[in-house]
Structure 1
Amino acid sequence: MFAGMVLYVIGATLAAVAPSFGLICVARVLWGLGAAAPRSLSLAMVRDRYEGDNMARLMSMILALFLLVPVVAPGVGAGLNAIGPWRLVFWFPAVAAMCMSAWAWFRLPETLPPERRRPFTWRAIGSAGRAVVGNRQTVCFTLAITFLFGVMTTYISGTEVIIEDVYGYEQWFPLIFGVLAILLALSALNNARLVSRLGVTALVRRMAVVGVVVASTLTVIAFTNGGHPNFWLFVVALAITVPLAQGLVPNANTAAMAPVPHVAGTASAIIATTMTAGGALLGAIVTSAFDGTVRPYAVGILAFISISALLILFGATSSIEPPADQLDSAPLA
């Protein structure tokens, strides 16, 4: 993780001092590669320390913080630009990363016990990868997360187009986007409470079914009035559908990681890579189908939620968390 943070700081610093746009792009690539380390390893560290419902609750809290970023980040960026040059936008993440690394160095203990550590060899990595892709539950829930992230990327990339180009309410976009981001965070926090009452296995199944019903309602609304439904009716339906879909993500993450505690790092990397790349591609497909109405947008969301629900129901055929004796005896290779 610290190696990734070092690369992150180097990338951000290079972007801050870069004399040309081309070098800024190169620095941003390094920046992103460095950010991938804590992004992937954070899930592995949670899996090392927590299981089942406890893991789902913690993942919900982490997701809530992540979903608040779209609300806070624009204001932070605007504030930095107001008090200093544009390069301050790059210096700030570099300094923040150094502060977080220092805190982690002194306060964050190693989460993986020595007896569960694996050799860093190609053979060990290949063995871990086979263990991940060979587990039906992990594969099903990883693909489900990917389609759920496709809902998120569709929402992020398509909402502004719909609000501005379909309805012409560009002045409402910042407010609506901010309110929906808050609802997303509240949905994640509410998921933590529901997990305590229902358990992750029952909750993920019920939310998958409800998600399909709600997305179907959104699609029916989208097809009224020639694909130009009442603006506020569509926004309300969207404000229910997207947070509900994203509320599934921490539970699906928990389910994907549950059977593979012995290769949590590899599993986390595979899940994060598949989710990010696949979800971005899915969102781009829906955005490219824009026809001047909200219909492709709603149909895409319904398709992604429906596919993820089928994957969840197929993958969660029994209790999501494996028995304790299976966790204790999980092989290291």
Structure 2
Amino acid sequence: MTTPDAPQYRPGPKYVLLLGSLAAVPAITSDLYLPALPTVGAELGASAAAAQLTLSGMLIGGAIGQLVIGPLSDRFGRRLPVLVGLMGHVLTSILCMMAPNISALIGLRVAQGFFNAASSVVAIAVIRDRFIGSDAARLLSRLMLVIGVAPLFAPAVGGAIAEVWTWRGVFAVLAGLGLCLAVLVWRFMPETLPAERRRPAHPRVVARGYLTLLKDHRFMALALIPGLSQAVIMSYVVGSTYVFQKEHGLSSQQFALLFAVNGIALIGGAQLNAFLVRRTTPVKVLRASLALQAVFAVTLVIVTATGAGGLMALCVLLWLTLTFQGLVPGNASVLALHEYGHMAGTAAAFLGSMQAGIGGIISPLVGFTGGTGVSMVSVMAGSILTALAILAFATPTYRRPRPAPGAAA
């Protein structure tokens, strides 16, 4: 159903694709650049750990951006923040293309992550403005499909671009994509937050909402789980290009294919989750998923450390670990937000910021501990085991919402 004060609206495929493209901007900005990561370090004379900070820095910038842009979009509407964010993305992409050293590139990627946050925040906010209940859930599912599919092709495209135009060409393409999206938003995305529904963005009001969340130990515990889940993904992202291309000798195109196969595992896990939560509760799915993921991750550490099974064992266990990864962050987020329907926007922004921030802080450990396969899977396993321990501490509860009177069965 639509929100009571929103116009009746049925989004077409093009509109869903536009929102999905906006929400996927951070992932595309990361994954298109990923195959070029080893050449960035080589050309700029940087270590693997320093080069990996160009990915982690973008996450940290995104974490800060969500905290700032979320309240601003409630104050100024949706169009202005996303247009400013997209133009900031274009500008930082051009500057990244001309970066003279690794320090400048890291700083610019932090700024790029900040501006990218506008796209992901506004895409979700637009849905919240116009839809609630089952309609919103269906539209979000379509959005997640676009977000999940787009990065599958990004590494292959990025690898091809880097081979022809070097890593600087990747940022030229990102600038072009940002400019195209800005034109499409200007032309086809109407304002969805009317003036009478906008809220003040006074620092005290915003700070009071965030302070409420910080004082809720249950919320904070559950909010750590999506962050640790993001750390699993980002540890894989920042480490996999070195592990598979340097240690196992895969070409950039072979790596892109493997990356796509593992991306399918994540999408498959998310679709499995949609099936399971209709038949049981998010609490049970989350507990079972983290427990199974922990078993696969620990086995992955043992296999990688001993070399048993070689590349095939590494790929299979990594695929299984990432499949169950698709069941974790969504359920943890639902449980964290369950008691905050009255301040869902603030809570969601805080949750998203923690997710990006924790992932950005933990994932550099892969590079700092050697950038090897053992380093990558150890950080992944440590994050999963920590999330499992936190879930036991949080003891979340969940009451399945009752359907509204007269709702269809």
In the alignment, which of 366, 369, 375 is matched to residue 296 of structure 1? 375
Say whether residues 1:4 and 2:81 are aligned partners: yes
Name 1:318's counterpart in structure 2: 397
Name 2:224's counterpart in structure 1: 143
Deviation at 1:313, TM superposition (A): 3.1
Kept after mapping to 1: 8 A contact 2:225/2:390: yes
Cα 1:16/1:38, change in 2 over 3 Å: closer
Distance 2:336 2:194 in 1: 19
Kept after mapping to 2: 8 A contact 1:4/1:35: no
Deviations 1:210-268, CA, capped at 9 Å, x for gaps = 2222222222322324xx64110111000010231232111112222222222222222
Name 1:216's counterpart in structure 2: 298
Distance 2:366 2:394 in 1: 26
Deviations 1:76-99, CA, capped at 9 Å, x for gaps = 5658999xx954541232222331
Kept after mapping to 1: 8 A contact 2:241/2:255: yes
Name 1:232's counterpart in structure 2: 312
Kept after mapping to 2: 8 A contact 1:144/1:308: yes
Kept after mapping to 1: 8 A contact 2:338/2:398: no
Deviations 1:24-80, CA, capped at 9 Å, x for gaps = 9688666543321242354556667557x9988766654443232322224556589
Distance 1:104 1:141 in 2: 34
Secondary structure, aligned partner of 1:105: coil
One-letter identity of the residue aligned with 2:344: A
Distance 2:400 2:173 in 1: 45
Kept after mapping to 2: 8 A contact 1:207/1:244: yes
Deviation at 1:299, TM superposition (A): 2.0
Kept after mapping to 1: 8 A contact 2:210/2:346: yes
Equivalences for residues 80-159 of structure 1 within 5 A: 87=172, 89-100=174-185, 102-105=187-190, 109-110=192-193, 114=197, 118-159=199-240
Distance 2:283 2:135 in 1: 12
Deviation at 1:152, TM superposition (A): 0.4
Distance 1:323 1:4 in 2: 36
Deviations 1:89-148, CA, capped at 9 Å, x for gaps = 412322223313543316xx449994xx65322221122112222223321121111111
Cα 1:254/1:121, change in 2 over 3 Å: same
Say whether residues 1:247 and 2:327 are aligned partners: yes
Higher relative contact order (CA 8 A, sep 6+): 1
Q: Which runs of 5+ in 2 are unaligned?
A: 1-77, 404-409
Kept after mapping to 2: 8 A contact 1:149/1:275: yes
- Percent identical pairs in the alignment equals 21
Distance 2:161 2:97 in 1: 24
One-letter identity of the residue aligned with 2:83: V
Q: Which runs of 5+ in 1 are unaligned?
A: 325-333
Distance 2:379 2:189 in 1: 40
Deviation at 1:155, TM superposition (A): 0.5
Distance 2:150 2:235 in 1: 17
RMSD (Å), alpha carbons? 3.7
One-letter identity of the residue aligned with 1:213: V
One-letter identity of the residue aligned with 1:141: L
Name 2:32's counterpart in structure 1: none
Equivalent residue pairs, number: 315
Kept after mapping to 2: 8 A contact 1:148/1:305: yes
Deviation at 1:170, TM superposition (A): 3.4
Distance 1:296 1:76 in 2: 27
Distance 1:41 1:90 in 2: 19
Distance 1:309 1:58 in 2: 30
Distance 2:161 2:245 in 1: 25
Cα 1:88/1:80, change in 2 over 3 Å: farther
Name 1:33's counterpart in structure 2: 114
Distance 1:323 1:137 in 2: 23
Name 1:185's counterpart in structure 2: 267
Name 1:268's counterpart in structure 2: 348
Cα 1:28/1:240, change in 2 over 3 Å: closer
Kept after mapping to 1: 8 A contact 2:86/2:116: no
Name 2:338's counterpart in structure 1: 258
Secondary structure, aligned partner of 1:223: helix
Say whether residues 1:67 and 2:144 are aligned partners: no
Kept after mapping to 2: 8 A contact 1:154/1:286: yes
Deviation at 1:154, TM superposition (A): 0.7
TM-score by length of structure 2 reads 0.65
Cα 1:45/1:303, change in 2 over 3 Å: farther
Distance 1:33 1:120 in 2: 18
Deviation at 1:283, TM superposition (A): 0.9
One-letter identity of the residue aligned with 1:298: V
Deviations 1:243-298, CA, capped at 9 Å, x for gaps = 31232111112222222222222222222222112212211112321275x32222
